[in-house]
């Protein structure tokens, strides 16, 4: 599915729509350049999962993972600073990938080798002034 977002609010709404179809154990792999809208989309997913204060959903670049409570827990990873997928040991990701929440991974292409066999890939890219092209597909 391809969506074009014309604003930050629309990107949040798209994320909230994605969240309505998610269940515990789902992994969402976000791929896109800096500024493509990965964190904004994650805010929408958080809203759709019932996270109360989505303003606290921000990129966990320096801590790698943040957990947010909602009707389903949200595990938000940002692996931008990782150089190799083997820098995540099994104790630091398997409990999230195969846990009781939804895992959203920014820069997921950096750890593609360790992603579960089934996941949702969302590619974001600029599509003109303030617009984002969002491609959503199940792998």
Measuring CA to CA, how many Å separate 51 from each of 3, 4, 105?
24, 25, 17
pLDDT digits (tens, 9 = 90+) for 81-119: 776 544 555 456 777 787 889 999 999 998 888 899 999
- Please state the domain extents for the chain: 2-138
Q: Residue 91's pLDDT is what?
A: 52
- Measured N-to-C along each axis, helices 38-48 and 8-19 cross at an angle, to the nearest 10 degrees, of 50
CATH node for 2-138: 3.40.50.300
pLDDT digits (tens, 9 = 90+) for 27-59: 999 999 999 999 999 999 999 999 988 877 887
The answer to whether 22 and 114 are in contact (CB under 8 A) is: no
- Is the pTM higher than 0.75? The answer reads yes
């Amino acid at each position: 599915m391809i969506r074009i977002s014309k604003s930050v609010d629309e990107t949040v709404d798209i994320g909230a729509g994605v969240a309505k179809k998610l269940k515990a154990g789902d992994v969402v792999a976000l791929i896109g350049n800096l500024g493509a809208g990965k964190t904004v989309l994650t805010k929408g997913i958080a809203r759709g999962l019932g996270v109360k204060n989505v303003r606290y959903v921000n990129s966990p670049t320096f801590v790698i993972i943040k957990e947010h409570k909602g009707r389903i827990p949200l595990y938000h990873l940002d692996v931008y600073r990782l150089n190799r997928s083997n820098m995540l040991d099994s104790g630091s990701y398997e409990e999230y990938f195969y846990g009781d929440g939804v895992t959203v991974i920014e820069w997921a292409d950096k750890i593609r080798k360790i992603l579960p066999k089934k996941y949702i890939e969302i590619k974001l890219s600029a599509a003109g002034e303030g617009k984002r092209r969002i491609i959503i597909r199940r792998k």
